[in-house]
Amino acid sequence: MMEPPLPYFGGKAKIASYFWKRFGKANIYLEPFAGMAATILLRPTTSFPTSSRETINDNDAMIANFFRSLKIAPEEVFENAEDPPIEVELVARQRAIVEGRDRLQKMLVDVNFCDPKLAGWFMYCRAHAVRPRSKSNKPELDKPSFHAGGMLSKKRRDNGLEEVTAFKERLRDVRICFGDYKRLLVDAEVKVPKAHIVAILADPPYRKTGTMYAEKQFDHAPLLERCVELGRRENVRIALCGYWGDYTMPDDWTVERWYPKKKSLETVWYSPACKHPEMSSNWENKAVVGNVFEEMYAEPPRHPLERLFSILRREEVED
């Protein structure tokens, strides 16, 4: 397991372990809205079955350029990212990122193309910004954060290039797509033998904060319809993320808040096949959550006199 390269607004690094407890040993893993791929990077090694395939996707050209630039020109990416947290630089680079997206969208079709300077600026802004720029463009959001995040943080920046190597190694066999999320939710992607498990993390732009991600409002209706349809399959496990009250899912879906005691708005809806590992009697992945599964599968404790009682019972039956 490894930490994501950059902080990402709406990222699920803090609860990635809970997803894998629900997903178990998934043969197919699909993540249509990957962002910085925190959940797949934090996947426990014990959650891999003998045969597995992983696919992540994001339609943000800036993310695609960042991943490709890390692969092709990591030194140049860091060269354009390792600058002091200066407000005017943050504002200027944010503007360049917004203006550069359309150009990248067209240029990335060339497999040899990348823009490491823009990738470095993207890294700089993600590491130092308090939060993504919203439509309101509030001045207080332009000020750099006190603490850089991701690979530019104090504890990680000296080993940044080494992390890039590990990052590329982890994603070496992961299929990375760049486009509409719907392409990952077609029947061909989830067609597996009945004994195999398909896990899907659906983390779309939230309804209340969707404009922080893009100018165009995200249409949730097709995604919800497809999730409900796929969620009826016994071997498909879906985690749908949003804010409390965002969705009305079928009654057999499980609703959980991140921090129930604090009445957090962050919420996950789990499809019926996402058995709770501490409650299920047929959960196949014994190692994901440690001793919980060991206890589940262990024989019940025997009373010291149980063997004697069983012998006496047999003798009574024989008599």
Give the tens place of pLDDT for each residue, 59-81: 899 999 998 998 889 999 999 99
- pLDDT > 70: percent of the chain: 78
When pLDDT is cut at 50, 70 and 90, the band that residue 260 belongs to is low
The rounded percent of the chain whose pLDDT value lies above 90 is 38
Among the residue ranges 113-127, 134-148, 221-235, 266-280, the one predicted with the least confidence is 134-148
d(CA 148, CA 125): 10
- What is the rounded average pLDDT of the residues 125-150? 70
pLDDT band (50, 70, 90) for residue 10: confident
d(CA 54, CA 174): 5
Residue 263 carries which side chain, given as an amino acid letter?
Answer: K
Query: 122: closest CA among 151, 146, 161?
Result: 151
Its sign, for the CA torsion 225, 231, 235, 240, is positive
Average pLDDT over residues 123-142: 67
Mean pLDDT to the nearest integer, 90-101: 90
pTM of the model: 0.78
Q: Taking the CB of residue 87, how many other CB atoms lie within 10 A of it?
A: 12
Q: Is the pLDDT of residue 52 over 80?
A: yes
CA distance 101 to 301: 61
